[in-house]
Amino acid sequence: MTQTPAKPRASWLASFSSLFIARVVASAATFLVIAILGRTLGRAHYGDFVILITIVKVAAELFSPALDIALVRFSGAAKDNAADAAAYARAVLRAKLLLAAVTLLMGAAILIPLHHLVFAREGVEVFLSTLALAFTGAALMIVAMYVPACFQARQHFTACAVFEVASALLRLAAIATLAYTQHDSIGNLFLAYTAAPVLVAALASLWLPSTPRVSIEPRIWRDLVGFAKWVAVACLCTSLLQRLDVFIVAAYKLPAEAISDYGAALQLTLLGDLVNVTLFTILLPHASSLATRDELRAFLRGFRMPTLFAFLSLVILTLCSGIVARLTFGAAYAQTGHLFAILLVGAAFAVGSAPAGAALYGLGKSRSIALIEFAKLAGILIGGILFVPRFGVIGMAWTVALVKGGAGVLTYALAITQTK
């Protein structure tokens, strides 16, 4: 009987540990940023800031992550063929530049109606120029995220960690400086928040490994399109899913204080997302080389302990959610701790299914992932329409948690069926 070698498993765990530690540092900086913003803007305006960064996230992540995943998938699989790896990287960069241009055009087209839909409330300090800045930031983020994707494809996880820490620390320094000098308008704070990772990506691009100049053959585009088309659908659903709740809460014109409480809880949930993103960053390059059922079984078994550790860390965070919310935002954010605890339930299930999700991507089952993400999107939309008018932000939080929980169980079940 052939035993799975312990060395790769130990290597994966070491990669997870080092990247997780770096992301803990980045999260500490992010935690301070959230606290400064929440206390500086107050409950009257913090919700509008969260809506703004939500718009950036949605616009930047509608399709761009599909290109990043495709880069990791194909460039990682072609690591022994430098010419092919370079061709895939160049093709993805060209696609990202085109996508950034389309994002700017689409932003210009919907700028006025979106501002009227989301920010047409008394006392709002978000102007059309600020919203235009959001779409500009999204376009720059699409291109900037090419840099960490290249590091991930080459399994340079230390470089990924440095990128994230540097982005978080620069953002913290900029936000703290603006707050201290009282140049703390929503526009100024939003510009600093968005610009930090773009500036770091520009500097980090100087350290990208040089790639040979190669022509992009038609088969390269066919591979990318064939794989990325379903991943793009999944990313579209995921991006809308992760932020749709914010737009639903805003669209129902709930009180500004309730929107701020929910936005604050969402920002704290980034601490839970840290664990999931760290796992997936390590998992995907390894999953791209899965070829047999035995390898899939070994892959899922090898990540039982790291996944259990990540899951338990979120359980502990859930128990401390009230304390974390009060320390971060103060007693004024009345419902934030309760909302944070509810949302972490969904984050815990997402962590539990991370190895299964990476395995499905590695096996080329991107259509299955897309269908799961579409089901989640539909669940959030239907649940929001049914429960937000009656239960407010509490109804939205429980909808998100239950939908993510069910999707996590389904993802793992689908991965298990591939081992039989």
**258-276 residue pLDDT tens:** 888 998 898 888 766 666 6
Q: How far apart are CA 159 and CA 205, in angstroms?
A: 11
Q: What distances in angstroms separate CA 341 from CA 187, 320, 346, one per listed residue? A: 30, 8, 10
Mean pLDDT, all residues of the chain: 82
Q: How far apart are CA 361 and CA 242, in angstroms?
A: 19
Alpha helices (H) along 218-330? 218-251, 256-287, 293-302, 304-319, 321-329
Residue 291 has pLDDT above 80, yes or no: no
Residue 17 has pLDDT above 70, yes or no: no
User: Which pLDDT band, with edges at 50, 70 and 90, does 2 fall under?
Assistant: very low
Model pLDDT for residues 191-215, shown as the tens digit of each residue = 999 999 999 999 999 888 666 677 7
Model pLDDT for residues 405-416, shown as the tens digit of each residue = 888 888 878 877
Place of tokens 């500097």: 203
Q: What distances in angstroms separate CA 151 from CA 59, 164, 208, one per listed residue? A: 23, 12, 7
Model pLDDT for residues 144-158, shown as the tens digit of each residue = 999 988 888 777 777
pLDDT at 6: 44
User: Residue 218: inside a domain, yes or no?
Assistant: yes
Q: By three-state DSSP, how is residue 241 classified?
A: helix
Question: Which residue has better confidence, 419 or 10?
Answer: 419
Q: What distances in angstroms separate CA 43 from CA 177, 324, 336, 341, one per listed residue? A: 21, 17, 11, 19
Q: What's the number of CA atoms in the CB half-sphere (13 Å) around residue 169?
A: 11
Q: How many domains does one find in the chain?
A: 1
Model pLDDT for residues 346-377, shown as the tens digit of each residue = 887 777 777 777 777 767 676 777 788 888 88
Q: Kindly compute the dihedral angle of the four CA atoms of residues 97, 368, 280, 67, in this order, to the nearest 10 degrees.
A: -10
Most confident listed range (77-91, 176-190, 217-231): 176-190
Model pLDDT for residues 83-131, shown as the tens digit of each residue = 777 888 888 899 999 999 999 999 999 999 988 888 877 777 788 889 9
> Which has the closest alpha carbon to 118: 238, 244, 267, 33?
244
> Please, are residues 340 and 269 in contact by the beta-carbon 8 Å criterion?
yes
Q: How far apart are CA 417 and CA 166, in angstroms?
A: 41
* The overall pTM is greater than 0.75: no
User: Residue 67: inside a domain, yes or no?
Assistant: yes
User: Which pLDDT band, with edges at 50, 70 and 90, does 171 fall under?
Assistant: very high
User: Residue 306: inside a domain, yes or no?
Assistant: yes
pLDDT at 240: 73
Q: By three-state DSSP, how is residue 233 classified?
A: helix
Q: What is the DSSP letter of 183?
A: -
* Identity of residue 226: G
> Which has the closest alpha carbon to 41: 177, 179, 174, 191?
179
User: Residue 117: inside a domain, yes or no?
Assistant: yes
- Domain extent at residue 87: 6-417
pLDDT at 4: 44
Q: What distances in angstroms separate CA 86 from CA 69, 150, 244, 285, one per listed residue? A: 15, 10, 36, 16
Question: Which residue has better confidence, 77 or 161?
Answer: 161
User: Residue 150: inside a domain, yes or no?
Assistant: yes
User: Residue 1: inside a domain, yes or no?
Assistant: no
Return the number of other C-beta atoms located less than 10 Å from residue 323's C-beta: 10
Q: How far apart are CA 279 and CA 117, in angstroms?
A: 37
